[in-house]
Amino acid sequence: MAKIFSFEDISKHNTRDDLWMVINGKVYDITAFVDEHPGGEEVLVDEGAKDATGPFDDVGHSDDARELLQKYYIGDIDPASAPVAPTQSQSSTSANGAPQGNALRVIIPLVVVLAVIYFRFLS
């Protein structure tokens, strides 16, 4: 039987050295993967400690990436649990509301995916 976690439980694991996330209702302790992530650690820390299903799916992770994710599975999210608002340390915006981090970490993978789609299917 899988262990059940609340969003409050997840929100406490929000640092590079202790990082959990929820993807498709499953909870993953991805702390050991932070250094290995091909997209860099910043994107994981930015999306960690919350439900990262949307960003995970938007990037278009491969079947291999989805299979690798199973290695970090620790339980399921409590469906009765409500998402917790990020604390200041979890927020991905600066004091003036502008996004922090490098926009290229999003733009470059997006351009690569679009180029692959274009050359594979449209040319």
Reported as a single tens digit per residue, the pLDDT across 98-119 is 455 566 677 777 888 888 888 8
Reported as a single tens digit per residue, the pLDDT across 21-40 is 999 999 999 999 999 998 88
- Domain ranges, residue 73: 3-77
Query: Is residue 50 in a domain?
Result: yes
CATH number of the CATH domain containing 28: 3.10.120.10
Q: Which amino acid is it at 7? A: F
Query: Is residue 72 in a domain?
Result: yes
Q: Which amino acid is it at 11? A: S
Query: Is residue 15 in a domain?
Result: yes
- How many independent structural domains does the chain possess? 1
Query: Is residue 42 in a domain?
Result: yes
Structural tokens at position 18: 């202790």
The whole-model pTM stands at: 0.69
Nearest-angstrom CA–CA distance, 47 and 64: 20
Contact (Cβ atoms closer than 8 angstroms) between residue 49 and residue 90: yes
Query: Is residue 45 in a domain?
Result: yes
Nearest-angstrom CA–CA distance, 72 and 34: 11
CA distances from 102 to 18, 45, 93, 98 (A): 22, 13, 12, 12
Query: Is residue 11 in a domain?
Result: yes
Rounded to the nearest 5°, which phi and psi values hold at 23? -135, 120
Query: Is residue 102 in a domain?
Result: no
